[in-house]
Chain A
Amino acid sequence: MDGAPTSPRAETLCHQLPGPWKLGLSLAVIVSGLVTPVAFWPVYGVLGTLVFIGHTLAAIPLAYLARRMAIFLPLLLMLSISLPAVEGFRRGGDIMAAILLRGSLSFLTVLWLIRVLPFDQLLQTLIGFRVPVLLVAMLAFMHRYALLLWSELRRMRVARSARTFDRADRQFRWRTSAQMIGMLLIRAMSRAERVHQAMCARGWDGQFRQYERPREADQMPMRATD
């Protein structure tokens, strides 16, 4: 799974924007694309240029975008082609083109957002937008354990093919896949229970306190040693 960017935090102009700006800019581009009347093609060109500039400023490699688009475009194409297809390809081309353009534009915009908005900054932005702390806490918890569970599932898959000599018939795979999810569920819930008990043992009372990122002034003593 190479979805989550694992490279060290880059420091381009786009990365340094405040979180709400990044979110706001992305939404603005997406909404502009969506409210544009279907046949106003130049607007899509302008938005596409903006998105391209954004990607360039954020130093996002083209290969990364191409890989993602290669997965995304066929699915969008399948849906967008359905309208002209039922009309025998006599009409509907403009709607198909609109869906394709808008979908691709917003997909590329979200890819930009993903690269420039790290997860912790996303959480802080959400708190800044008055999203209930309960939801943000659950989100943080999920992020922590999603990758853990995913690798545990991957290990289960390896164990399955090792113990069953990679048996490939469909019924077997269905049954064992579902059993793996069930096993993972039980393990995950037991772990969640232990985590909750550990939190309570350390004095958690249901309040969520926000950790503030250390500001420049606080880092001065460390810099003095450079």
Chain B
Amino acid sequence: MHVSDGILSVPVAGVAALASATAVAISLRQLRDRVADRIVPFTGMMAALIFAGQMVNFPLFGTLVSGHLMGGVLAAVVLGPYAGCLALTLVLLVQCLLFADGGLMALGVNVLHMAVVGSMGGYAVYAVGRRVLGGGPRAALAAAIAASWLSVMAAAALFCLEFRLSWPGADYDFSKIFTLMTTLHSAIGVGEAVITGVVVSFVLRQRPDLIASDTANTASDISVRVLAAGVVVALAVAAFLAPFASPHPDGLEAVSQHADFESLAREQPATALADYEFPSLVPRWRSVPGWQMVSVSLAGILGTLSVLCLALLLGRALARASSSDASVE
């Protein structure tokens, strides 16, 4: 979802714009030597493809809403991190300046979320994951799937942070909003991961030469990449710790307030928030102060791990299917 103007304050949007401009400048600098290469038509074409691909709506399970592809990791897998970042930047530019999708001041914020964290950060996670898993097509697939989900979560966490910083005077309880945001984006992230997985497996089958090869050769390259991947994963995990972001100074007081709120809410029909809790196996656990916070974070961390396992399994299954299909085709 593109951030529009008015949601974030000017200083926050300004800092984000500066960070995005720096990242875009770095990407342009890295690609400067490859100008005569096919990078210009490729990046432009990829941007056009993602732009078109974002028009395809996928019905989300169990809801009336539909989601669409973000394409950050997809662009980075095919083009590499720098061109991928530029491709997403182009998409956001066109969407803002030709279709008013996303604010003008918020362009920097959107670029930061989708081009920098989504594409460059996602590529770092993908590259590290691919290397860790062995480097073959199956590893690439599994890593791409995991990277898509993690980059969506990381972008969501970053938005929550920016939103909190934008309204500093207000002592509202932002944690509930963040929980909702995180839950929503986990679902969106799963959709993104599945779509990216199917598209990447399709491309690996038909045109494996289109997937960018591993370009990190020096130790400093690799360490930068690992650092970037670590930041993205940390942000994604932080999304699940967001419920701890209570404005009240006394932690116990805040927790007991939440516990009361939750017991009131239980009388109502089940909502997404109520289900977003780790079931307490021992009834006595529920009376422990802070259990509600711990359970949400536990659910989040377990959710992260299970999605990673799902990504690995899905990657293996798709790769196995693709290798058997290849013999038929």
Contact = CB atoms under 8 A, between A and B. Distances in A.
Given A188-B45, A189-B78, A173 B59 contact: yes
Interface in B108-163: none
Interface in B72-127: 74, 78, 86-87, 89-91, 93-94, 96-100, 103-105
B58 interface: yes
B128 to A, nearest CB: 24
A53 interface: no
Interface residues of A, number: 83
A3 interface: yes
A181 B94 contact: no
Nearest to B205: A182
Contacts of B202: 178-179, 182-183, 185-186
A175 B198 contact: yes
Chain A residues touching B, majority SS: helix
A175 B314 CA distance: 14
B94 A103 contact: no
B103 A178 contact: no
A107 B4 contact: yes
Given A30-B103, A178-B194, A193-B38, A142 B44 contact: yes
Interface in B217-257: none
B195 interface: yes
A107 B5 CA distance: 8
Chain B residues touching A, majority SS: helix
B44 A83 contact: no
Contacts of A43: none
Contact of B103 (A100, A110, A134): A110
A87 B173 contact: yes
A140 B47 CA distance: 11
Contacts of A72: 4, 100
Given A142-B44, A189-B210, A206-B36, 12 more contacts: A83-B170, A95-B167, A114-B97, A141-B41, A141-B43, A142-B91, A142-B94, A148-B48, A188-B45, A189-B45, A199-B41, A204-B36
Q: Which 4 A-B pairs have the closest CB atoms?
A: A141-B44, A102-B6, A182-B202, A206-B36
Interface of A: 1, 3-4, 26-27, 30-31, 33-35, 68, 72, 75-76, 79-80, 82-83, 86-87, 92, 95, 98-107, 109-111, 113-114, 117, 119, 122, 132, 134-135, 137-146, 148-150, 152-153, 170, 173-175, 177-186, 188-189, 191-193, 195-196, 199, 204-206
13 contacts: A30-B103, A75-B4, A76-B4, A103-B103, A106-B6, A111-B100, A138-B86, A144-B44, A146-B51, A178-B194, A178-B195, A181-B69, A189-B45
Interface of B: 1, 4-7, 9-10, 13, 24, 28, 31-32, 35-36, 38, 40-49, 51-53, 55-56, 58-59, 61, 69, 74, 78, 86-87, 89-91, 93-94, 96-100, 103-105, 167, 170, 172-173, 176-177, 180, 194-195, 198-199, 202-203, 206-207, 210
